[in-house]
């Protein structure tokens, strides 16, 4: 956990405890399981007094900004989850609850603040993948894998290279979901934490299939940097054309964060990709 993450969680705890509208606050995700690291999202939950829920819902962005300025914010899942990013590029998912008693899961929840009787505890699901869960996963993901593969001739025939590249990510995701079942472990972390659920030889054969020569050349790092340069060069003009506000503050925050982290991880030389020249033939449609 970084100082910034610890500072935010402590401030969230204090602010929730001081707000009479909030009956409980807790963390799930990596920090709820006590496995968070410097790259983990903060998944927070707030149980709000039902009579004050609408008032708090309308105020939640301002409420969070008083903890840390935000460069991005949106409501999702019918307004029940507030998805945001701070000016330190910390990613937040803040879930809002208004039930009388909120259910939380043992082993996956870290309570920050609770009024007596506000939370009800459910047993943890355990680490093992159950036969029922494995059956459901394999039926769903094997079919999805072959459905996506069946569309390959469509994109090839139409010359849709970008659609094909995007589609490959869905094929890869379905395949890795199937391979994860071989470990016998219930996958309880997000898409950004996959390695621990793949058997080593499965991981190796998939990496060799999709990254044949790129692990040495760091292409998986270079590609998003190149795409970031394209967005930085062309996104503002396109947004301006359509009278849409371009997220300059978010762009600056993300690039600052990515630059700092890549340098700390020894990939600073790849940041040259952000300075690639833009072809004069590229124009805004």
- Co-location of 236 and 188 in the same domain: no
Q: Do 20 and 116 reside in the same domain of the chain?
A: yes
Please tell me whether residues 83 and 154 are part of one structural domain.
no
Q: Within this chain, do residues 175 and 263 fall inside the same structural domain, yes or no?
A: no
Residue 141: inside a domain, yes or no? yes
| Same domain flag for 108 and 146 | no
Residues 235 and 191 in one domain: no
The residue from 54, 88, 122 where one domain ends is 122
Q: Do 16 and 100 sit in the same domain of this protein? A: yes
The answer to the question of residue 165 being in a domain is: yes
Range(s) of the domain holding residue 232: 219-275
**Would you say 67 and 46 are in contact if contact means Cβ atoms under 8 Å apart?**
no
pLDDT at 284: 37
178 and 82 within one domain: no
The reply to whether 281 falls in a domain is no
Per-residue pLDDT of the chain (285 residues; tens, 9 = 90+): 889 999 999 999 999 999 999 999 999 999 999 988 999 999 999 999 999 999 999 999 999 999 999 999 999 999 999 999 999 999 999 999 999 999 999 999 999 999 999 999 999 888 888 999 899 989 999 999 999 988 888 888 899 989 888 998 999 889 888 888 888 888 776 656 788 888 888 888 888 888 766 555 677 788 889 889 989 999 999 889 889 899 999 999 999 999 999 999 998 998 999 874 444 443 333
On whether both 173 and 254 belong to a single domain, the answer is no
Pair (103, 160) in one structural domain: no
Q: In what order do the strands lie in the sheet with 81-86?
A: 70-76, 81-86, 91-97, 42-48, 22-28, 110-114
In a domain, 176, yes or no: yes
Asked whether 185 and 133 are in contact (CB, 8 A), the reply is no
Answer whether residue 283 is part of any domain.
no
The pLDDT value given to residue 83: 97
CA 126 – CA 11 distance, rounded (Å):
31
Task: Give the number of domains in the chain.
Answer: 3
Indicate whether 234 belongs to any domain.
yes
Question: Which of these three, 65, 97, 122, is where a domain ends?
Answer: 122
Assess whether 239 and 166 both reside in one domain.
no
Give the gyration radius of the chain's Cα atoms.
22
285, part of any domain: no
Paired tokens of 141 = 């993901």
150-203, pLDDT tens digit by residue? 888 888 889 998 988 899 899 988 988 888 888 888 877 665 678 888 888 888
Domain boundary among 122, 139, 161: 122
- Using CA atoms, how far residue 102 sits from 19, 29, 50, 56, 202, in Å, is 18, 17, 12, 17, 40
CATH number at residue 45: 3.30.460.10
pTM for the model stands at: 0.84
pLDDT tens, residue by residue, 11-37: 999 999 999 999 999 999 999 999 889
Place of tokens 């079919």: 143
Tell whether 199 and 247 lie within a shared domain.
no
The answer to whether residue 18 sits within a structural domain is yes
């Amino acid at each position: 956990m970084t100082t910034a993450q610890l500072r935010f969680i402590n401030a969230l705890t204090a602010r929730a405890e001081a707000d009479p509208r909030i009956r409980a606050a807790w963390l799930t995700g990596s920090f709820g399981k006590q496995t968070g690291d410097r790259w983990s999202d903060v998944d927070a939950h707030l149980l709000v007094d039902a009579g004050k829920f609408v008032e708090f819902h309308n105020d939640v962005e301002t409420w969070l900004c008083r903890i840390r300025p935000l460069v991005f914010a949106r409501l999702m899942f019918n307004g029940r989850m507030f998805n945001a990013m701070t000016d330190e590029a910390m990613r937040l998912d803040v879930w809002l609850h208004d039930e009388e008693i909120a259910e939380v899961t043992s082993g996956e929840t870290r309570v920050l603040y609770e009024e007596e009787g506000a939370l009800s505890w459910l047993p943890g699901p355990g680490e093992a993948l159950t036969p029922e869960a494995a059956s459901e996963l394999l039926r769903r993901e094997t079919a999805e894998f072959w459905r996506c593969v069946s569309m390959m001739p469509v994109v090839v025939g139409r010359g849709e290279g970008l659609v094909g590249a995007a589609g490959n990510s869905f094929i890869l995701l379905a395949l890795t979901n199937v391979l994860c079942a071989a470990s016998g472990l219930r996958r309880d972390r997000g898409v950004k934490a996959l390695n621990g659920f793949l058997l080593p030889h499965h991981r190796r054969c998939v990496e060799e299939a999709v990254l044949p020569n790129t692990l040495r050349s760091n292409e998986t790092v270079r590609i998003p940097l190149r795409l970031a340069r394209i967005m930085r060069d062309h996104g503002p003009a396109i947004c301006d054309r359509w009278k849409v506000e371009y997220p300059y503050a978010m762009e600056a925050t993300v690039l600052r964060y990515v630059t700092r982290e890549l340098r700390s991880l020894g990939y600073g030389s790849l940041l040259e990709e952000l300075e690639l020249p833009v072809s004069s033939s590229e124009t805004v449609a």
